[in-house]
Amino acid sequence: MVGLEQTATAAADKNKTDLEMATCPRCLGALTENHRCPRGPLSRVRDAIPTVLLGSLLGIVVCFAIEERPSSALLVAASALGAVLANAIRQAAGPKV
């Protein structure tokens, strides 16, 4: 009896292991039992910050290129648009994380 139970448990463990050998949707590493993503949950936000900053800077530069004396509201809008666009491009071009 004990042997049968152990076999069943082993089979269940094997199924579980097979299931968990899928790749992690976040870090694309093998999903082992003790898998931990090498990058924390905040890393995606941290990665996006330079892109967003660069995008908003680009938006401001473009705004100054078009308008000689842009109003502050226009600058804010251009900066926000640049940030959003840069982030969208980053998400489209970067790896699907």
Nearer to Zn ion, 28 or 66 (CB): 28
Q: Does 90 bind Zn ion (CB under 5 A)?
A: no
CB of 26: closest distance to Zn ion in angstroms? 5
CB of 47: closest distance to Zn ion in angstroms? 15
Nearer to Zn ion, 22 or 92 (CB): 22
Q: Please work out the total of residues on this chain that contact Zn ion, with binding judged by CB under 5 A.
A: 4
Footprint on residues 24-63 left by Zn ion (CB under 5 A): 24, 26-27, 37
DSSP assignments along the chain, one per residue: -HHHHHHHHHHHHHHHHHHHTSBPTTT--B--TT---SS-TTHHHHHHHHHHHHHHHHHHHHHHHH-SS--HHHHHHHHHHHHHHHHHHHHHHS---
Interface ranges with Zn ion (CB under 5 A): 24, 26-27, 37
